[in-house]
Amino acid sequence: MTTAATSVNPERVALVIAAYNEGSVIGEVVRDALRFFPRLIVVDDGSSDDTGAAALSAGAVVLRHPINLGQGAALQTGIEYALLLNVDFVVTFDADGQHRPEDVQKMLEALTCNGNQVALGSRFLGEAVGMPFSRRLLLRAATLFTRITTGLRITDAHNGLRTFRRDAAEAITIRQNRMAHASEILEEIGRMQLTYCEVPVTIRYTEYSRAKGQSGLGAFNILIDLLIARIRK
Amino acid sequence: MIKIFLSLLGLIVIAYGVREWRNSRLVSMLLVICSMVAGVLVWFPAWSDQLAHLAGVGRGADMILYCYSAISFLMILNLGLKQRDLHQSTTRLARYIAVTSPRLPDEKPIGK
């Protein structure tokens, strides 16, 4: 295992990866992350390929949803399982290879040094390698929307790399099963007045991750999901 | 006779609206208000023209149709919300199955 560049004991950190049909990349992502953090939980969200088997053979703990529920549901499942373990920090990490485990160390450092409860990754403070222009525009619009609706002063609303201190992970419950969970997490941080900071991170866009990413229609669906959730309240 | 029949239907919708209060206050309130307005107009159709003019609708009959459309829309919305509840139950079940049956690479028990 690579020596951690943080004062946090890696055994006290759980990485949660939600994966749906990521069999071709999940093994590499797991092996890369295990170099830094030994507690890695992959939630196989009802994949029809060998995602679960690939993650397991790479060394992750695998939880499997019997049916596909969505990334938000899978993350909540992983977080609930992580909280059963004796960890102080829970990290959400993407399955498509966009994130770097080294950035998690920076986020943990930010939490331990500044006493914040949540560290949010920001590609706009850091670097977004190979990000398409259309994606940049979409993310900027989503960030503006989130700043208006939550009051949080953030620069990147839909970054899947987040680190929660245990108390924050316990406080937040993700109810949005699909992609609207990213906005919901920020709403919860604002509503419960959790302390947070943004940490510059590097996001690597590959052909694979671009193909799997959100479309304009996806952004519209997120808005509808958030609207319905508010009616329900 | 038709007035009594329509009033009974309106009362059923009001009862349904009250019952939905716990699930969605917005839907519940709108269902009750729309049904009550529709009920009043069944018994006092002359008021419908006056109300229609106040609401900026040409004829009272049109306004009743709009009320009917609004109630239908709200009931569809409510069905959608119920479906969402059902989906949440499915999620809790799937989560329980996932969390209670982890596959461990080295078969170590949880927390060890």
Read off the pLDDT of residues A111-136 as tens digits, 9 standing for 90 and up: 998 899 999 999 999 998 888 888 88
List of chain A residues whose C-beta atoms are within 8 Å of the C-beta of residue B23: 232
What mean pLDDT comes out for the span B19-42? Answer: 85
User: Angle at Cα A216 formed by Cα A186 and Cα B95, nearest 5°?
Assistant: 50
Q: Could you read off the pLDDT of B65-107 as tens digits, one per residue?
A: 887 888 888 888 888 888 888 999 999 999 999 999 999 997 6
Beta bridge partners of A128: A203
Residues A171, A83 contacting (CB under 8 angstroms): no
Residues B3, B32 contacting (CB under 8 angstroms): no
Choice between B60 and A153, residue whose per-residue pLDDT is larger: A153
**pLDDT of B112 strictly over 60:** no
pLDDT of res. A68: 97
Residues A70, A178 contacting (CB under 8 angstroms): yes
Mutant choice from A184, A224, A232, A233 vs B, greatest count of B C-beta within 10 A: A232
Residue A33 touches partner B, C-beta closer than 8 Å: no
Q: What is the rounded end-to-end Cα distance, in angstroms, of chain B?
A: 74
Q: Which residues neighbour A181 within 8 Å (Cβ) at sequence distance 6 or greater?
A: A70, A71, A72, A75, A76, A174
d(CA A210, CA A204): 10
pLDDT of res. A124: 94
Residue A63 touches partner B, C-beta closer than 8 Å: yes
* Contact state of B87 with A177 under an 8 Å Cβ cutoff: yes
**pLDDT of B108 strictly over 80:** no
Residues (pLDDT < 70) of chain A are 1-6, 213-233
**C-alpha closest to that of A177 among B108, B60, B92:** B92
Q: Does residue B65 sit in helix, strand or coil?
A: helix
**C-alpha closest to that of A220 among A187, A184, A179, A167:** A179
Which residue segments constitute the domains of chain A, with CATH numbers given?
A: 10-232 (3.90.550.10)
Give the closest of B94, B104, B110 to A66, CB-based: B94
ipTM of the complex: 0.85
For A42, list phi and psi in degrees, rounded to 5: -105, 125
d(CA A100, CA A107): 11
Q: Residues 213 to 232 of A: which have CB under 8 A from any B CB?
A: 228, 231-232
**C-alpha closest to that of A204 among A161, A162, A164:** A161
Chains A, B: CB contacts within 8 A come to 67
| Whole-number percent of chain B with pLDDT over 70 | 95
Half-sphere CA count of A151, side-chain side, radius 13 A:
7
List of chain A residues whose C-beta atoms are within 8 Å of the C-beta of residue B83: none
pLDDT of res. A98: 93
* Contact state of B105 with A43 under an 8 Å Cβ cutoff: no
Give the closest of B26, B90, B111 to A84, CB-based: B111
**C-alpha closest to that of A63 among B27, B98, B73, B92:** B98
* pTM of the predicted model as reported, rounded to 2 decimal places: 0.78
